[in-house]
């Protein structure tokens, strides 16, 4: 069996199946997966083969079952679990998994020896990728190595009939990790969960060590506590993630059956859910129509929520822009200014992983941030890439993630962050070493972005390997094609690629494109009319600059003057006229920023990336309009000036204006893409780029693309977190 079949209870599962069917033989791990030798009646063998994939354990992912006839002179009379074969990296390492129902029941059972134990786990749940330090995956190569199993745990570990058989993190209060409550660097006497619950109820902010790093937590119903957390972290408006029980989530959110299913997955991601029911403080997500919720995914979280009986803010424990804190001393050094106290434990975290963020759209689930619970899961390469070899792709500058290809699979790494930040750059290097070592990866070529200033590009240039430079939006296009299994020889698609910034081959900054292409190349069929990025990088943070440029282009300079009287408009216009620090850009993201500012939905300077665009989406959510505002399209260039003039003349409510903006843009981009398909130049339409995380825009695009095949992102982020997958496929296609 090939796939994610080690460290997930597969051998005892096979052992149980074989005993059920009365077969003799053995099962073992080897370098390529799980190897089974089985002998017995033909019908029983056929049932075994069928059950191996159909009845696999919850955390297993079976890619292939490969049967072979074999003469069996040397099999035991019964069925045994044999010692593992040589170590290898051809099989997958399982992602971390949320606490299973059996372990949840156990920690709440006063008669159980693990009652109230915050590190309870079994073969079907618990830490995996965050504790592994090397292959093969066994206890000696995890951060559990220092905890010697007591006789009771060892007996469970050695019993194939026990759900803890070969569960590497198995532990109990007598032999495993422990948690404690700490204030001012001193451990407080008493039980950690009870002390933490009392502190949270009293309005304090806690730093809590989890699976992939620390969270900063407070009572989500306490507006004062949330405000203190925001003030200390200098995070004035970015939405905060919440954790709650199923009953709590149901009381505060509108949850569909598909959203419940996503919340309950072993990955336990943060899921964006529409606000409903009992209101929570607006300060949790100012101006947003949804909140990000996750269920508790460790025993510590379950015990804490039981004790507090209220939803908790659970936001990443880090300094602004830095990676999440993972070490105890690192937490004391960096989070003491944020947290009143700490919940610590002594199981080391081998690699930092943020919580995954996902949402359910009318077209199904989609990943916004691919991290804990989703990595290191692999994706099959599309047909035609069977001989792609080993490619390393290094992604972009923001939402950095790397990708490795090997044996027909792509391993897209976890979200790292912005590489401008020194510690994120350090984490990038660690991830590179980490993934290559764990998966025995020896790249034959490296793929990078066109932009020479990206640190990931510079890292690739320094490797001394054959280098493939991939245009940013072509990588987005290849990413969504690859995720959907679009065959290498299936012909071109029309990609609507909308994002913030990416260097175009013409030297300008792209970001609102219709590309027609395949993995090997592309042509530009449509694009948003460029506008100056007044002030260069400052325009990415200050929406008023983009509003000024777009209003001036539309002949509405007087309206701009009235809208922003206190801004240095004359100076900026003078600089733009002189061509000083004002590169042209077709960025859709900056157009969204501009319109959000004009509607009064965005501040002059954003406090986090995407703030303006998210506010515009929130304003348009649930508003239906009969038509959008018109744009001009000339030889593929989409000019939004008529849209600005229509807005200025209409005087419509903010939410209606936001909806007309989305509808007008969707109609324009979809019209160009539809034309390419209907003319036979493309076989489907593909949607990618960070702006396509906007559910209102995606829904409008799909309405205008009705009747055409459309490729969408689901398991790979539409934003730059999916860029490396596309780069890898382009590099493989150009061999």
pLDDT tens digit sequence for 524-583 = 999 999 999 999 999 999 999 999 999 999 999 999 999 999 999 999 999 999 999 999
Predicted local distance difference test score (pLDDT) of residue 439: 86
For residue 378, give the H/E element and its range. strand 378-380
How far is 700 from 101, CA to CA, in rounded Å? Answer: 40
Predicted local distance difference test score (pLDDT) of residue 33: 86
Predicted local distance difference test score (pLDDT) of residue 6: 83
How far is 249 from 255, CA to CA, in rounded Å? Answer: 8
Q: What does R_g of the chain's alpha carbons equal in angstroms?
A: 27
What is the pLDDT averaged over residues 96-123? Answer: 97
Predicted local distance difference test score (pLDDT) of residue 260: 98
Predicted local distance difference test score (pLDDT) of residue 83: 79
Predicted local distance difference test score (pLDDT) of residue 401: 97
Burial level of 278, CB count in 10 A (0-12/13-18/19+)? exposed
Token couple for 135 = 């292959």
Concatenate the DSSP letters of all residues of 79-125 into one string: EEEPPP-S--SSSPPPPPBPPPHHHHHHHT-TTSTTTT-TT--BTTB
Predicted local distance difference test score (pLDDT) of residue 543: 97
Predicted local distance difference test score (pLDDT) of residue 441: 94
Residue 640 has pLDDT above 60, yes or no: yes
Cβ(84)–Cβ(59) below 8 Å: no
Of 318, 328, 130, 338, the closest CA to residue 226 belongs to 338
The DSSP code for 542 is -
Q: Is the peptide bond before 136 cis (omega within 30 degrees of 0)?
A: yes
Where along the chain do its domains lie? 2-81, 93-177, 179-345, 376-484+717-733, 495-711
Composition of the chain by helix, strand, coil, percent to 5: 35, 20, 45
Of 75, 32, 68, the closest CA to residue 49 belongs to 68
Q: How many CB atoms lie within 10 A of CB 653?
A: 12
How far is 365 from 576, CA to CA, in rounded Å? Answer: 42
- What are the counts of helices (DSSP H) followed by strands (DSSP E) for the chain? 23, 32
Residue 622 has pLDDT above 90, yes or no: yes
Residue 27's alpha-carbon distances to 34, 68, 372, in angstroms, are: 7, 15, 30
Tell how strand 253-254 and strand 270-275 pair up.
antiparallel
Cβ(121)–Cβ(170) below 8 Å: yes
Residue 320 has pLDDT above 90, yes or no: no
What is the pLDDT averaged over residues 590-608? Answer: 96
Same CATH fold, 376-484+717-733 and 2-81? no
For residue 495, give the H/E element and its range. strand 493-503
93-177 classified as CATH 3.90.870.30: yes
Query: pLDDT class for 119, splitting at 50, 70, 90?
Result: very high
- 3-class DSSP state of 555: coil
What is the pLDDT averaged over residues 701-705? Answer: 98
Q: How many CB atoms lie within 10 A of CB 121?
A: 24
Token couple for 254 = 């509108």
Q: Is the dihedral of CA 505, 506, 508, 510 positive or negative?
A: negative
Cβ(126)–Cβ(104) below 8 Å: no
For residue 303, give the H/E element and its range. helix 299-308
Residue 322 has pLDDT above 60, yes or no: yes
Token couple for 289 = 């129509």
Query: pLDDT class for 75, splitting at 50, 70, 90?
Result: confident
Q: Is the dihedral of CA 282, 240, 608, 499 positive or negative?
A: negative
475-486: per-residue pLDDT in tens?
Answer: 999 999 999 999
Of 394, 390, 388, the closest CA to residue 448 belongs to 394
For residue 711, give the H/E element and its range. strand 710-711
Token couple for 734 = 């150009």
Residue 733's alpha-carbon distances to 269, 684, 730, in angstroms, are: 33, 19, 5
Burial level of 279, CB count in 10 A (0-12/13-18/19+)? exposed
Of 352, 362, 313, 310, the closest CA to residue 331 belongs to 352
CATH number of 376-484+717-733: 3.40.190.10, 3.30.420.360, 3.30.9.10, 3.40.50.720?
3.30.420.360
Cβ(152)–Cβ(172) below 8 Å: yes
How far is 291 from 241, CA to CA, in rounded Å? Answer: 7
Query: pLDDT class for 91, splitting at 50, 70, 90?
Result: low
pTM equals 0.94
How far is 375 from 5, CA to CA, in rounded Å? Answer: 15
The three-state (H, E, C) secondary structure of 310-357, written as one string: CCEEEEECCCCCCCCCCCHHHHHHHHCCCCCEEEEECCCCCCCCCECE
Concatenate the DSSP letters of all residues of 192-261 into one string: HHHHHHHHHHTT--EEEE-SSSEEEEEETT-HHHHHHHHHHHT-SSSPPPEE--HHHHHHHEE--HHHHH
Cβ(342)–Cβ(679) below 8 Å: no
For residue 179, give the H/E element and its range. strand 179-183
For residue 183, give the H/E element and its range. strand 179-183
Query: pLDDT class for 135, splitting at 50, 70, 90?
Result: confident
Query: pLDDT class for 379, splitting at 50, 70, 90?
Result: very high
Instruction: State the CATH class of domain 2-81.
Output: alpha beta
Residue 31 has pLDDT above 80, yes or no: no
Predicted local distance difference test score (pLDDT) of residue 73: 66
Of 137, 179, 182, 166, the closest CA to residue 15 belongs to 166
Query: pLDDT class for 291, splitting at 50, 70, 90?
Result: very high
Of 474, 398, 457, the closest CA to residue 726 belongs to 474
Residue 360 has pLDDT above 80, yes or no: yes
How far is 623 from 617, CA to CA, in rounded Å? Answer: 10
Predicted local distance difference test score (pLDDT) of residue 174: 98
Of 250, 264, 256, the closest CA to residue 361 belongs to 256
Query: pLDDT class for 86, splitting at 50, 70, 90?
Result: low
What is the pLDDT averaged over residues 322-342? Answer: 95
Cβ(7)–Cβ(65) below 8 Å: no
- 3-class DSSP state of 45: helix
Token couple for 385 = 């890439």
Residue 278's alpha-carbon distances to 221, 250, 253, 281, in angstroms, are: 10, 9, 8, 10
Mean pLDDT of the chain: 95
Of 209, 462, 235, 222, the closest CA to residue 348 belongs to 209
Query: pLDDT class for 206, splitting at 50, 70, 90?
Result: very high
Q: Is the dihedral of CA 439, 442, 445, 451 positive or negative?
A: positive
Cβ(221)–Cβ(214) below 8 Å: no
Predicted local distance difference test score (pLDDT) of residue 111: 98
Query: pLDDT class for 225, splitting at 50, 70, 90?
Result: very high
Cβ(544)–Cβ(604) below 8 Å: yes
Residue 354's alpha-carbon distances to 26, 269, 416, 611, 724, in angstroms, are: 39, 10, 8, 20, 19
* Superfamily classification of domain 495-711: ATPase, nucleotide binding domain (3.30.420.40)
Predicted local distance difference test score (pLDDT) of residue 90: 57
Between CA 410 and CA 385, with CA 86 as vertex, the angle to 5 degrees is 20
Report the interhelical angle of 10-21 vs 42-54 (nearest 10°).
150
What is the pLDDT averaged over residues 649-659? Answer: 96
- 3-class DSSP state of 605: coil
179-345 classified as CATH 3.40.50.720: no
């Amino acid at each position: 069996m090939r796939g994610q079949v080690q460290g997930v209870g597969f051998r005892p599962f096979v052992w149980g199946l074989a005993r059920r069917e009365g077969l003799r033989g053995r099962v073992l791990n080897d370098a390529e997966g799980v190897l089974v030798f089985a002998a017995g009646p033909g019908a029983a063998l056929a049932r075994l083969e069928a059950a191996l994939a159909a009845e696999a354990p919850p955390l297993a992912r079976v890619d292939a079952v490969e049967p072979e006839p074999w003469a069996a002179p040397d099999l035991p009379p019964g069925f045994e679990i044999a010692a593992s074969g040589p170590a290898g990296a051809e099989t997958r390492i399982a992602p971390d998994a949320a606490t299973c129902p059996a372990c949840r029941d156990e920690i709440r059972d006063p008669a159980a020896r693990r009652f109230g134990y915050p590190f309870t786990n079994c073969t079907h749940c618990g830490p995996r990728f965050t504790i592994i330090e090397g292959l093969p995956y066994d206890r000696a190569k995890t951060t559990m190595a220092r905890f010697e199993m007591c006789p009771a745990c060892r007996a469970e570990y050695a019993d194939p009939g026990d759900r803890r058989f070969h569960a590497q993190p198995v532990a109990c209060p007598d032999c495993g990790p422990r948690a404690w409550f700490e204030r001012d660097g001193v451990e407080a006497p008493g039980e950690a969960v009870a002390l933490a619950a009392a502190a949270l109820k009293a309005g304090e902010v806690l730093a809590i060590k989890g699976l992939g790093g620390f969270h900063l937590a407070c009572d989500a119903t306490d507006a004062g506590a949330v405000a203190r957390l925001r003030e200390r972290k200098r995070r004035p408006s970015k939405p905060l993630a919440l954790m709650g029980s199923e009953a709590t989530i149901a009381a505060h959110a509108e949850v569909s059956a598909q959203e419940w299913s996503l919340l309950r997955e072993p990955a336990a991601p943060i899921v964006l859910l529409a606000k409903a029911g009992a209101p929570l403080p607006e300060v949790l997500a100012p101006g947003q129509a949804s909140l990000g919720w996750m269920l508790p995914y460790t025993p510590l979280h379950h015990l804490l929520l039981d004790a507090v009986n209220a939803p908790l803010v659970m936001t990443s424990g880090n300094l602004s822009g830095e990676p999440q804190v993972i070490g105890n001393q690192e937490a004391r050094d960096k989070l003491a200014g944020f947290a009143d106290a700490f919940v610590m434990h002594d199981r080391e975290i081998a690699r930092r992983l943020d919580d995954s963020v996902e949402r359910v759209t009318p077209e199904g689930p989609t990943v916004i941030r691919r991290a804990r619970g989703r990595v290191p899961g692999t994706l099959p390469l599309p047909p035609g890439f069977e001989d792609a070899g080993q490619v390393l792709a290094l992604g972009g500058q923001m939402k950095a993630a790397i990708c490795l290809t090997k044996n027909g699979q792509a391993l897209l790494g976890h979200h790292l962050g912005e590489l401008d930040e020194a510690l994120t750059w350090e984490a990038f290097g660690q991830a590179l070493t980490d993934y290559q070592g764990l998966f025995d990866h020896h790249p034959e070529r490296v793929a990078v972005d066109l932009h020479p200033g990206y640190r990931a590009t510079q890292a690739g240039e320094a490797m001394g390997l054959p280098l493939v430079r991939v245009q940013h939006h072509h990588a987005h296009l290849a990413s969504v094609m690859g995720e959907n299994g679009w065959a290498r020889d299936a012909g071109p698609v029309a990609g609507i690629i909308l994002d913030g910034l990416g260097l175009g081959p013409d030297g300008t900054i792209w970001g609102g494109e219709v590309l027609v292409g395949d993995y090997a190349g592309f042509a530009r069929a449509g694009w948003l009319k460029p506008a100056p990025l007044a002030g260069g990088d400052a325009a990415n943070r200050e929406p008023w600059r983009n509003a000024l440029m777009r209003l001036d282009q539309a002949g509405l300079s007087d309206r701009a003057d009235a809208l922003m009287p206190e801004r240095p408009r004359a100076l900026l216009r003078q600089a733009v006229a002189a061509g000083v620090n004002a590169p042209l850009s077709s960025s859709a993201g900056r157009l969204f920023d501009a319109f959000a500012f004009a509607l009064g939905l965005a501040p002059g300077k954003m406090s986090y990336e995407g703030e303006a665009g998210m506010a515009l989406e929130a304003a348009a959510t649930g508003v239906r309009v009969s038509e959008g505002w018109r744009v001009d399209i000339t030889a593929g260039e989409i000019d939004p000036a008529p849209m600005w003039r229509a807005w200025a003349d209409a005087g419509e409510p903010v939410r209606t204006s936001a909806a007309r903006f989305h509808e007008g843009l969707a109609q324009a981009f979809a019209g160009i893409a539809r034309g390419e398909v209907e003319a036979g130049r493309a076989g489907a339409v593909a949607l990618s780029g960070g702006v396509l995380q906007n559910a209102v825009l995606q829904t409008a695009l799909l309405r205008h693309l009705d009747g055409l095949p459309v490729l969408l992102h689901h398991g790979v982020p539409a934003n730059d977190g999916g860029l490396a997958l596309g780069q890898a496929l382009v590099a493989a296609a150009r061999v």
